[in-house]
Structures are given as C-alpha cells and as structure tokens.
C-alpha cells in the first residue's frame, strides 16, 4: 500500500516533500518517496500533509478526565476500568496520537491494554506503560503545588538547558479553559514565561498532556499543546511537530519504531488537511490516521 498526499513532513528533514508518499507493508514503512513500488495499491488522500503519528509522553489512561477522576477510579472494577481505558486510548488515536506513554495505572492494566492492541484485532495506539506508580498515600499528581513563588533562577535554567535532559511540559490543555488549581492559575503567566525562557536557553522540550487528571485534559488534548502551548513558548511549527513526534518518541524509548516517517519504522501516520507547517492549527483537521499500518481514521 502506498499512502500519499500533497505534502509529506517526515519529522526529521526540515523541508516538506511535495507529492511524496509512504509505502507500507505488513505494518512497517518500507519506503518514503515520490513513487509507489510496482503493483502497490495507492491511497491518495489529496490535499493533506502526511506526518508521523503524534507521541504523548505523559497520560493516565485510568483517569477519566472528569471532575473526580480518582473517585471514579476507586469505584470501577478492573474489567470496567480496562474498557474505559480502551475508550480513552481510542479517543487519543482518533486525533493522531499513535503512541501513548502511560505514567501510572492500576494493576498493570495499561500493559494489558498494550498487549491487546499489539496482538488483537482492535486497532489501537502503541502504549508504553510504567504500571502502578510508587507514591505515598495521597501523593502523585497535582498535589505538589505550593503557595511558593515561581521566580526562576536564570542560572538554573541554563543548567537545565545544558544538561541534555529532555523536559516534558504538560502544557496541553483545552483552549478557553484554565488549570483547576488556583495557585497555578494565578501563576500561569509567570510559569509560561519560565517555559519560554527555558526554550530560549536551548533546553530540549517536549509537550505532553497529563491527560485524564482533569476535565480540561481529555485524552485527545495533545494537538492543542502543539498549536497552543508550543507556539506560545516560541517554537516554530516545524519545531513543535518535531518535538511531538521524533523527540517525544526518543523520550519514550521507541525511536527505533516510531516518531518519524522512515523505512524500517512502524507505519504510524497522521494525515491532516492543509499544511501545518504554514498554519499549525491544521493539526486539528484530521483526515486519516494509521497505527502500525492499520487504518484507524480515514476514507472507507
């Protein structure tokens, strides 16, 4: 199968290739170029840009992005929770998130779901899972905000930037909403200014979502981080796309199989209408999604 469209951005080369496509065989990319191999079925998606599938390095599939995710989690048995998690993963996949790194589940259910998508008939995103978190009672997410200030020491920013560490900022949030934590809302401007300063200092930054933990962060929120957060801290469209594909795949340890459109990798492909390099909001106009070569969204 040769999947093609007007433009292709492979996640590595800075330029967009005109009228290139991706040759897919048995779920893998076998070629990326202007012409299909002999005898290949051609899927021409028209005026789209083909991109690597997005990678969200920080989600919680067990949380339901409601006003009380922890209460709902406690009230669900494992069977119901697993189906809810599958629904959350499908919601992410529908907007082009083909890899989810799950940072905290219950009973290793995210690994169960990982194996189900990997080996079963159901098309699903690749899941990289940590299993249950190690935490004190009442610990983990959203409890570590204090009333202290957010003044950043420039020397610390430089040290972070020079450390080679990749910093995952959970900046994806539904537009028009605000974080539910008052202390964070009050300091949002200063926090964002720190993020922008860190980027200017040369830090390696990816945007993630922490999806599930609040109603402002559903599991398909990551593209808003690409078009909103990363643009706001000063990334170009190309930088924002690379951060959310190639770099994020490295962060998850799956760069050998995901993050770019290159031969040998899994065929995780997002096609969006128009040109997100020219207008990053095009990232929201999803035309087709392929996960490991299997179509999740697209023409029937």
Give the interface with Zn ion as residue ranges (CB under 5 A): 141, 210
Minimum CB distance to Zn ion smaller for 32 or for 85: 85
Minimum CB distance to Zn ion smaller for 32 or for 141: 141
Least distance (Å) from Zn ion to the CB of residue 199?
21
| Contact between residue 273 and residue 284 where contact means Cβ atoms under 8 Å apart | no
Which residues are CB-neighbours of 19 under 8 A, at least 6 positions away?
A: 4, 5, 6, 7, 34
Least distance (Å) from Zn ion to the CB of residue 76?
18
Minimum CB distance to Zn ion smaller for 141 or for 157: 141
Minimum CB distance to Zn ion smaller for 141 or for 173: 141
**Cα 14 from Cα 65, distance rounded (Å):** 35
Least distance (Å) from Zn ion to the CB of residue 103?
5
Least distance (Å) from Zn ion to the CB of residue 15?
36
Least distance (Å) from Zn ion to the CB of residue 211?
9
Minimum CB distance to Zn ion smaller for 141 or for 161: 141
Neighbour tally for 101: CB within 10 Å: 23
Least distance (Å) from Zn ion to the CB of residue 60?
6
Minimum CB distance to Zn ion smaller for 141 or for 226: 141
Least distance (Å) from Zn ion to the CB of residue 141?
4
Token pair in block for residue 61: 């599939």
| Contact between residue 222 and residue 213 where contact means Cβ atoms under 8 Å apart | no
Minimum CB distance to Zn ion smaller for 130 or for 281: 130
């Amino acid at each position: 199968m040769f999947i093609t469209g007007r433009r292709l951005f492979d996640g590595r080369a800075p330029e967009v290739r005109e009228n290139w496509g991706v040759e897919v065989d048995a779920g893998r990319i076998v070629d990326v170029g202007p012409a299909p191999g002999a005898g290949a079925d051609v899927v021409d998606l028209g005026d789209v840009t083909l991109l690597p599938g997005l990678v969200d390095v920080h989600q919680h599939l067990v949380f339901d992005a409601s006003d009380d995710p922890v209460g709902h989690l406690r009230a669900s048995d494992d069977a119901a929770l697993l189906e809810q998690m599958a629904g959350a993963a499908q919601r992410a996949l529908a907007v082009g998130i083909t890899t989810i790194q799950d940072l905290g589940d219950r009973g290793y259910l995210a690994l169960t779901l990982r194996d189900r998508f990997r080996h079963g008939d159901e098309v699903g995103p690749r899941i990289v899972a940590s299993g249950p978190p190690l935490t004190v009672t009442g610990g983990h997410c959203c409890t570590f905000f204090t009333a202290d200030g957010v003044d950043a020491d420039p020397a610390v920013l430089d040290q972070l930037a020079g450390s080679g560490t990749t910093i995952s900022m959970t900046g994806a949030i539904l537009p028009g909403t605000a974080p539910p934590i008052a202390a964070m809302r009050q300091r949002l401007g200063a926090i964002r200014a720190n993020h922008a300063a860190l980027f200017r200092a040369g830090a390696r930054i990816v945007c993630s979502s922490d999806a599930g933990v609040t109603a402002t962060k559903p599991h398909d929120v990551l593209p808003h981080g690409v078009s909103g957060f990363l643009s706001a801290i000063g990334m170009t469209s190309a930088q924002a796309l690379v951060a959310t594909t190639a770099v994020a795949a490295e962060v998850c340890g799956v760069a050998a199989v995901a993050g770019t459109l290159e031969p040998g990798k899994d065929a995780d492909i997002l096609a969006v209408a128009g040109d997100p390099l020219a207008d990053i909001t095009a990232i929201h106009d999803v035309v087709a999604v392929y996960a490991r070569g299997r179509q999740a969204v697209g023409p029937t």
